[in-house]
Structure 1
Amino acid sequence: MSTTRENLPGDAAQFVLDTFLTLVRIDSLSGDEGAVAERLRGYLHDAGCQVWSDHVGNLLARRAGHGAGGMLPPLLLSAHMDTVEPGHGIQPRIVHGVVRSDGTTILGADDKAGVAAILTALRQTNHTGASCCPVEVVFSVQEEVGLVGAKHLDLTQLAAKTAIVMDSAGPVGSIVARAPSQDTMTIEITGHASHAGVAPEQGVSAIVVASKAIAVMRLGRIDPETTANIGVIRGGMATNIIPAHVTMRGEARSLDEARLAAQTSHMRECFETAARDLGAKVEFWVERSYSGINLSPESAVVKRVSRAMAATGVAASLISTGGGSDANIFMGAGIETANLGFGMMGPHSVEEHIAVADLEQAASILIAVLSDPQG
């Protein structure tokens, strides 16, 4: 949903665009966020924040409130600093009001557009002449490789019980009301090695066991609320050796806990049956990567964000997603969290793009949220 600049002063509109273009030019692949974190530290200081880093590299900040909102509870704003491959040497282009890369890399709107919107909102509310609630900020590391930064965040450093995460693809105005829980599996199959040309009959191929299991496994889109995938397979040493070991990693996600449990159990049974039938052994470990989100339309954070959207001429829309984000971690820790869409399209691809007007509108919404004396 593209809009005009009428809700964002001209200098702020230029700031959010310039900040976004600056940030995407700084390489920050997962695990290598140091340079962009240092740049963000400066922006946060300029916006009147106290800033610090934690032991895994997350960048945190806080700022007191002022005016009519000064006595409200703090609000947490969050986005992640890392990007995916291909993400070296991003060169943004603006064509017909849309920011894209040069076609050889991602753009990095996921999630630097979210970061830029947060910085703009902090900048625009950094004065004592108007209402602003107390604010806490988390710019996390390694979100793209398993929400690592959020999972290792010491939440005792934060007082906020309400949060807004800027990390959802889709139109401005969308609020993630439902997001899945995810189980991550590690599977190890042990067969028996033998010479593939001399005595193949004496071997038990771990690769064959894995293939038999996967061939009968329900994968992909299981139902409207559930997905599953085997994404990593490693095994074998040479073409003349029956492979004795295979390690795999997979996942299952669902908006429904019972369906997730059933899918995870099904995947386990497929491996166990194949191993038993072919004389191999299997070990199957399951880790809960994150729990789901189920926000009520009547929740305080949805009402707060919807009110800000209405004030900036945007209609709020509650959506479901199949993706996880730092919002899942915050929700699981008891922080009521809304993950907002801000117009980024085609994330994780060289077609990724965002309209300048959507970037501006996202900043306008956050300014309205921070300025709302109702909290």
Structure 2
Amino acid sequence: MTVDADAATDRLMRFLAVEGVSGQEKAIGREIAAALRDGGVPAKAIRLDDANSRIPLPTETGNLIVDLPGRGTMHNQPRIMFMTHMDTVPLCAGAQPKISGRKIVNAAKTALGGDNRCGCGILVTLAAELIREKLDHPPITLLFCVREETGLWGARHVKTDDLGAPVMAFNFDGSSASGVTIGAVGADRWQVEILGRASHAGVAPERGISATMILALALADVKAGGWFGKVVKGKGKDAKLGTSNVGPVTGGEGRPAGDATNVVTDYIHVRGESRSHDAKFVREITKAYKAAFEKAAKQVTNSDGKAGRIKFKAETDYHPFRMKESLPVVKRAVAAVSDVGGAPTIRASNGGLDANWMVRHGVPTVTFGTGQNEPHTIDEWINRDEYERACALALRLATMR
């Protein structure tokens, strides 16, 4: 199937020029709504939910939801959903998109925002093409999520009753439009407070309990145990695989870890993550970090024999999933990719997707790429051929019987 490629690119350029980092999606939401109306979608079909009222981080607006009634001979078929996310990572602020041949690049030293303005362009193009060509299609929900980049919060907190009970969904987020992503890792986010004791580092260092030393010992223990970075436990087909990372190390919100070189550091706050396609192994990785911090705290004592303490908290960020290839949503996805001239490749993602939460909500969801390349870096660019292929793919998914 073909789409108006020039109009699709114009929409993408329009969206790329609008800033909208995680939590600040109001402006891009307005722009998407305006573009939908320009494409013929009635204003009454476009609305915002109240997911932002349930997200535990400041978030300007809710998810954008669009209801398209079924048309023609397919009007009474089960509802399907197309989804993407509106936000970008902070590095995209100030992007200046420009067309360079069959690429879209950035004139500024920032990330471009193809992740995921491409998805926004694809969904709006889908709606506009269905209306322009007066194509038969089942009832369709379009969902533009907020705060994907900071924890999949919009998809996590959407109310399924607001979606019209779709039987399947197609998420657009990634590189290749031929990639049929049917699974993804799960992840824990963990944080630990390391509680030591301050003391003058020159006069009486022995009276202090160094939170910095507790951190160092814990991380050395984690590394020695093979729990940092790429994690492999066991061999062969029974091996357990995952990843982990230690993120921000601070002295609390807006503070450094330690106030001066002549004071024994009494407090450090650390955040990190654990990931795996195996939910139980995610928890094993997290437990290894907790055990290492507990052990290190006991090892660091002062001249009075007092040891440091830790407060460790972990929560599930998103759950892993893997759908069966026999599911209707996967069969439809594979057939549609072939129909638009692609070679479908079934895969699982090592990153979290809004699809993680949609599957958890009971809506089987396949994810496709959109033409993004080098996302979250200043080298980011968009492949226009792949973007146009993804637009055609969305149209085929919406209209195939």
TM-score (norm 1): 0.93
Contact 2:318 2:357 in 1 (8 A): yes
Q: CA deviation at 1:216?
A: 1.7
CA distance in 1, matches of 2:169, 2:178: 16
Contact 2:176 2:368 in 1 (8 A): no
Contact 2:184 2:351 in 1 (8 A): yes
CA distance in 2, matches of 1:225, 1:178: 15
CA distance in 1, matches of 2:371, 2:31: 24
CA distance in 1, matches of 2:280, 2:162: 34
% same residue: 29
Give a deviation string over 1:213-258, Cα, whole Å, max 9, x none. 0112121111383100010111222222211111111100001123
Residue 353 (structure 2) pairs with residue 344 (structure 1): no
What amino acid does structure 1 have at the position aligned with 2:344?
Answer: A
CA RMSD of aligned residues (A): 1.6
CA distance in 2, matches of 1:129, 1:366: 15
* Partner residue in 2 for 1:201: 206
* Partner residue in 1 for 2:15: 23
Contact 2:371 2:384 in 1 (8 A): no
Q: CA deviation at 1:129?
A: 4.4
Partner residue of 1:51 out of 37, 42, 46:
46
What amino acid does structure 2 have at the position aligned with 1:138?
Answer: L
CA distance in 2, matches of 1:225, 1:340: 24
Residue 232 (structure 2) pairs with residue 233 (structure 1): no
Q: What is the DSSP-based 3-state SS (H/G/I as helix, E as strand, rest coil) of the residue aligned with 1:77? A: strand
Contact 2:193 2:312 in 1 (8 A): yes
Q: What is the DSSP-based 3-state SS (H/G/I as helix, E as strand, rest coil) of the residue aligned with 1:160? A: coil
Contact 2:22 2:90 in 1 (8 A): no
Q: What is the DSSP-based 3-state SS (H/G/I as helix, E as strand, rest coil) of the residue aligned with 2:149? A: helix
Contact 1:165 1:337 in 2 (8 A): yes
* Partner residue in 2 for 1:328: 356
Contact 1:85 1:105 in 2 (8 A): no
Residue 2 (structure 2) pairs with residue 8 (structure 1): yes
Q: CA deviation at 1:44?
A: 2.5
Contact 2:198 2:208 in 1 (8 A): yes
Contact 2:118 2:371 in 1 (8 A): no
Give a deviation string over 1:74-122, Cα, whole Å, max 9, x none. 1111111111132223222222311111251111110011110111111
Q: Which runs of 5+ in 1 are unaligned?
A: 1-6
* Partner residue in 1 for 2:57: none
What amino acid does structure 1 have at the position aligned with 2:389?
Answer: Q
* Partner residue in 1 for 2:346: 318
Partner residue of 2:228 out of 219, 224, 227:
219
Contact 1:91 1:101 in 2 (8 A): yes
CA distance in 2, matches of 1:322, 1:80: 18
Q: What is the DSSP-based 3-state SS (H/G/I as helix, E as strand, rest coil) of the residue aligned with 2:90? A: coil
Q: Which deviates more, 193-202 or 256-265?
A: 256-265
* Partner residue in 2 for 1:309: 337
CA distance in 1, matches of 2:148, 2:283: 25
Residue 173 (structure 2) pairs with residue 167 (structure 1): yes
Contact 1:252 1:264 in 2 (8 A): yes
CA distance in 2, matches of 1:239, 1:166: 49
Q: What is the DSSP-based 3-state SS (H/G/I as helix, E as strand, rest coil) of the residue aligned with 2:372? A: coil
* Partner residue in 1 for 2:103: 98
| Number of aligned positions between the proteins | 364
Contact 1:68 1:130 in 2 (8 A): no
What amino acid does structure 1 have at the position aligned with 2:249?
Answer: I
Q: CA deviation at 1:127?
A: 5.8
Contact 2:182 2:365 in 1 (8 A): no
CA distance in 1, matches of 2:12, 2:129: 16
Q: Which runs of 5+ in 2 are unaligned?
A: 53-60, 233-239, 251-256, 301-306
Give a deviation string over 1:263-321, Cα, whole Å, max 9, x none. 11111111111011221111111100000120221111111111211211112111122
Contact 1:77 1:137 in 2 (8 A): yes
Contact 2:337 2:343 in 1 (8 A): yes
Partner residue of 2:291 out of 266, 269, 276:
269
Q: CA deviation at 1:177?
A: 2.0
Runs of 4 or more, structure 1, over 4 Å off, are: none
What amino acid does structure 1 have at the position aligned with 2:181?
Answer: V
Query: Which residues in structure 2 correspond to 1:66-81 (within 5 Å)?
Result: 66-81=71-86
TM-score (norm 2): 0.87
Query: Which residues in structure 2 correspond to 1:104-123 (within 5 Å)?
Result: 104-123=109-128
CA distance in 2, matches of 1:319, 1:123: 30
CA distance in 2, matches of 1:128, 1:361: 18
Q: What is the DSSP-based 3-state SS (H/G/I as helix, E as strand, rest coil) of the residue aligned with 2:215? A: helix
Q: CA deviation at 1:48?
A: 2.4
* Partner residue in 2 for 1:371: 399
CA distance in 1, matches of 2:119, 2:107: 21
Query: Which residues in structure 2 correspond to 1:26-45 (within 5 Å)?
Result: 26-45=18-37
Contact 1:131 1:372 in 2 (8 A): no
Partner residue of 2:144 out of 139, 150, 154:
139
Q: What is the DSSP-based 3-state SS (H/G/I as helix, E as strand, rest coil) of the residue aligned with 1:31? A: coil
CA distance in 1, matches of 2:40, 2:347: 32
* Partner residue in 2 for 1:4: none
